[in-house]
Each structure stands twice: as C-alpha cells, then as structure tokens.
Structure 1
Amino acid sequence: MARTALPLVFSVTSGKGGVGKTNISVNLACTLTRMGKRVVILDADLGLANVDVILGLAPKLNLFHLFNEGMTLKDILFDTPYGFRILPAASGVSDMVNLTTGQKLDLLESMDYLEGDIDHLIVDTGAGINDNVLYFNIAAQERLVVLTTEPTSLTDAYALIKVLKLNHGVDRFRVLVNMAKDERTAKEIFIKLYKACDHFLSGVSLDMVGFIPTDPLVRKAVINQTPFAVASPDCPASVAIAKAAEKINTWKVTAKADGNIKFFWKKLLFQEQSVA
C-alpha cells in the first residue's frame, strides 16, 4: 500500500561546474534508498544530461520524448540497478536548455504518476545561474549547495545564493563541502561563505550538512561508472555521504495546500508568471 506522506523535494546545486554535484546526487540517492526511502532523481541539467552517464546507464527515453513525442512520465521513468529511479534529461539538445511554460505544464500534469509513490525527489540542477538553474532552485523545498575548497567555487556559490536571495527571496540554504582535505578545512570554507552572506545578504540562513573528504576510491568509482557508496561502502567518502543522508532525513517537509508533489511544479510556474 502506498504511503501518503508528502515528498521532500530538494535540489543539489552549485555555482560552478566540476564540484562533483551529480556524483553527490547519485550517491545520496543510493544511500537514502538503502535507508528505506523511495527516491527519484530528476536530471535537471536538461540540455547536458549526465546522471545516466555517471551511472553507466543508457535510457532509451528522456524528457525530450515527454515534451515532443507524446511519451508519459511512466514511459521515461528509468529503474536503476541501485533501487532508485531517474527522470533522464536529453544530452546535446539545445531546445531543452530553457523549458517553455507549456512544457512545464506538461510536466506538471505528468507528475500525477509519482503521487504517493515517492519519499524524496532529488533535483540535480545544472551549474551556474541560468534560468533553469534558478527556476528549479526556487521551486524546491530545500537547496543543497555543493562547493569545494577552491576560491572560484566559493565565489560562484556565493553568486548563486546572492541571485536567489535578492531576485527571488530564497533565504535558506544547506551546504555540503566536497573534496575537502579534512573536516577543519571544510569548516573553514563554510565559515568564509557564511561570513560573506552574513555581511552582504541580510536574512540568509546557511546550514552545513557536512563534507565529503578527498578519497581516491571516489575517482575510481567515477571511472568505473559505479556509485562510490556501492563500490566502496566503508570508504571515508561513503561514511560521510551516509552522515549527510541522515541529516537530510531530518528535514521537515513543508506542507502545501494541494497536498501532493505537484506543489513543486506549481510553485515553479507561479514564479515564472510573476517574473513575466
């Protein structure tokens, strides 16, 4: 019997590419699934899909077919060998870079299929501050900002937070530091981001979810197109991702008037209409 609890929709996002954002999404999905959660990843990097690539999978259908060839969400929802499902995006399709309002409405209606059948929807956004990245972050209940200890990663993460705060009123962010030498180094970069936001962006709330240490087994798993949480479940990175997943499981789901997963898309469409 399907559970009726409202799903948690959270984005995994970054201001800069190359910080391991999609790898974090995939390994969180593996870990949350192992904890008994029903998980779907939406590959929201719509024109440059890579969730399937990092998993070594080749779905025949993706969101392009939903929008252009009359397929349903059920048709394109792809079961992975790891227990979670993905909504694959297209790769190298320029028409997918910015969804139209009509396409968002099509996706909204399609989401009925997931109603009551999901605990977590992980939205793996693109990097940067383009329209799709902003829209998906605006719509999510929680935003997990991934950054590394590199200075450019810090400045770009701040830029993303700044745009979401000043232009769209988003004021709560979760932070995960990836590829950190140790906990002290991770906390130092988080404090720098915290101080910048505290000084220049009044009212922004930052919460450090944790850090993923630099681990050679992560790179090995990426090369082998296997989640490191599966390939090496006891390695330092896997232990750290499990701690982050435990924190995510404590996040409270924000109740919405319609009481189902459609709130995600309705909020996204409302934001688009208000900007227009």
Structure 2
Amino acid sequence: MDKFMLDQAEGLRRLLTGSRSRVVAMCSGAAAGNGAGGIGKTSAVVNIAAALAALGKDVLVIDERQNALSASRLFGVPDNGTLATLMSGKRFLEDSVTNTPFGFALIAAPRDERISHVPAQWRVLLDGPADIVLIDTQLDRNGELSTLAAQAHEFVVITRVAPAAITEAYVCIKRLHYAHAIPRFRVIVNHVKNAADASVAFNNLATVASRYLAVQLMQAGRVAEDHRVSRAQELSRCAVEAFPATPAARDYRQIAAEMLHWPMVQSPQTVPVEMPKLGEHSINPGAARRMETPVTQLAMSSSASM
C-alpha cells in the first residue's frame, strides 16, 4: 500500500484515539522456566519490526526475554540498568534505546528491572514517540504477563502447526484471559508448510476458545517455514532485510502492513493517570479452571490436519 495512505491512516488513528503509540504484546505458550520453545516468537518480533520500519514507521521493540536467543543478545544491546535509569527519570527515552541497523529501536526490559513498577508508570515508556511498540513478552511461571506487557492494546499469540504447539497456545490464551481479562487475541501461525493446514489449525483453536472461554480469536497471518529465517538470525540480521525475496520475508511484510490497519482498542489494563512524557524526539533508526476436554480436542484435531 502507498506509504502516503498509510501515514494518513495512522495520523487519523492518533487524532481519534489521542494515543501516541500502538502497543502490541507478542506471546507464545512457553512460560518462564518450562524449557519450551521453537515457536519463533523473537524471530517474528524482529522481522515484523524491520518490516514496519521499512514502511517508514518509528518502531520500538521492548525485549523482556533473558537468554542467548533474545533480541537484545542478537543485536548486542545491554540488558541491565538501562530501563531502571529511564524509569527513575535519570535518562530520556531517546537516550535509553539502541537504534538497530534495521530501522527499529530496541530496549531490554529484564525481569528484575520490571517488577518494581506499577502499571501507570509504564506510560512513560509506552506513550513515547514510537508509532508502534512491539513487546517480546516473557510470561512468568504462572503463564501471566508482566505489568509492562499487560498494558498492550493488542495481544498476539504465535504458534505453529503441531499438536503440542496448538495445545500450548490454547493454555496460554486461557491463562492470559483469566489473569488479565483479555477478551480478544490475534494469532500468527508460524513455520507453515501448507496454507490449508494453517487454516485448519487456526479454525480449531478459534472454535475451542470461543466455546469454552468466550474469547475471540482473529487471524493475524501466517509465516512460511523457511530455513533462511534462522540463517539470518545466525548472521545477526533480519530475514526481511537479508533475504527479502523469500516466502517468510514476504509473509512478515504482509503481517506488518495489515497491522497498521488493525482497529485501535483500549488496553484492558489502562490506568487513567497523567504521567510526564520523556523524550519527545523520534526514535527512528490461579483463577483458571482445568479444561482437559478442549485441550484434548485441539491436539486430536491438529493431528488430523497434519
């Protein structure tokens, strides 16, 4: 879509909502310490961020993860102290972020620097100059969001076409719904070999979530299985920049373009407290019940579709 039209649409959204940034929390079913992984959440975050930046948007990625495969480690961003100094008012936002070579800014948000802040304080970070803030979430041991990620307007769950992954996605959605009263999630199906299988997996997940949780699921897109995504990561680069003609890069760009047109919704955790805004410059360059039946249905239906 023409960049001028995208800028007009984003400008109108900001005028009507009074919001500075669209905040999107990117989630998967792996809770802290459970050893699960392989969904490709971080790859999705950085590639969508790079695709949004290529569309001319100011993008901030907040990295909550703390492991060797996190975005901060990938781009050599310090993961200690920076967020704390920002939240204490000792630094401005534009002085706290790291501008990556791929057009988006990045800041690490390790757990020990997040847990001491209440939701209203995060507006200093989330109401900054970025058009879009993507949070690479780290769920806690109960499968819940941090007080930072809970401030998002949109919650995207990333999964793949495999029984275990679909089951994890359902459990993730269930826990987040009960913990944070989130009524709607968007879903990205990653590592897709066959588009029809991806549609079946999403439809199964959406049907069960609607029936047992009264939660609405919406398709946010799918990403083709492509070994060049991991190759780009090994090179400390993004697939959309390093291998732009590949199927996965195409899919990331499609998701990014459509994200700009998602209707703006209010965060379920929004606190109406006025906070001072730092850094006005551009940053461019256990209430849940066990429900074994739906989980079993998901695993069986996903197996049948593969």
Match of 2:204 in 1: 192
Structure 1 residue 131: Cα displacement? 6.9
In the superposition, the TM-score normalised over structure 2's length comes to 0.72
Structure 1 residue 195: Cα displacement? 2.3
Give the Cα separation in 2 of the matches to 1:183 and 1:251: 22
Structure 1 residue 237 and structure 2 residue 248: aligned? yes
CA RMSD of aligned residues (A): 3.0
Structure 1 residue 146 and structure 2 residue 158: aligned? yes
Give the Cα separation in 2 of the matches to 1:158 and 1:131: 12
Task: Work out the percentage of aligned pairs sharing the same amino acid.
Answer: 27
In the superposition, the TM-score normalised over structure 1's length comes to 0.79
Which one-letter code corresponds to 1:95 in the other structure?
A: D
Which one-letter code corresponds to 1:245 in the other structure?
A: A
Structure 1 residue 105: Cα displacement? 5.6
Structure-to-structure mapping, 1:69-218, within 5 angstroms = 70-90=90-110, 95-96=112-113, 99-101=115-117, 107-109=122-124, 114=128, 117-127=129-139, 130=142, 133=145, 135-202=147-214, 204-218=215-229
Q: The residue matched to 1:146 in structure 2 has which SS?
A: strand
Unaligned runs of 5+ in 1: 257-262, 269-274
Structure 1 residue 167: Cα displacement? 3.4
Give the Cα separation in 2 of the matches to 1:126 and 1:255: 22
Is the contact made by 1:42 and 1:88 (CA closer than 8 Å) also made in structure 2? yes
Structure 1 residue 133: Cα displacement? 2.1
Give the Cα separation in 1 of the matches to 2:201 and 2:145: 23
Q: The residue matched to 1:101 in structure 2 has which SS?
A: coil
2:238 to 222, 227, 252: 227
Structure 1 residue 129: Cα displacement? 5.9
Q: The residue matched to 2:253 in structure 1 has which SS?
A: helix
Which one-letter code corresponds to 2:51 in the other structure?
A: T
Residues 195 and 109 of structure 1, relative CA distance in 2, 3 Å threshold: closer
Give the Cα separation in 2 of the matches to 1:199 and 1:70: 49
Match of 1:31 in 2: 51
Deviates more, 1:73-82 or 1:122-131: 122-131
2:271 to 255, 266, 269: 266
Structure 1 residue 58 and structure 2 residue 77: aligned? yes
2:27 to 1, 4, 13: 13
Q: The residue matched to 1:165 in structure 2 has which SS?
A: helix
Residues 201 and 232 of structure 1, relative CA distance in 2, 3 Å threshold: same
Give the Cα separation in 2 of the matches to 1:107 and 1:168: 16
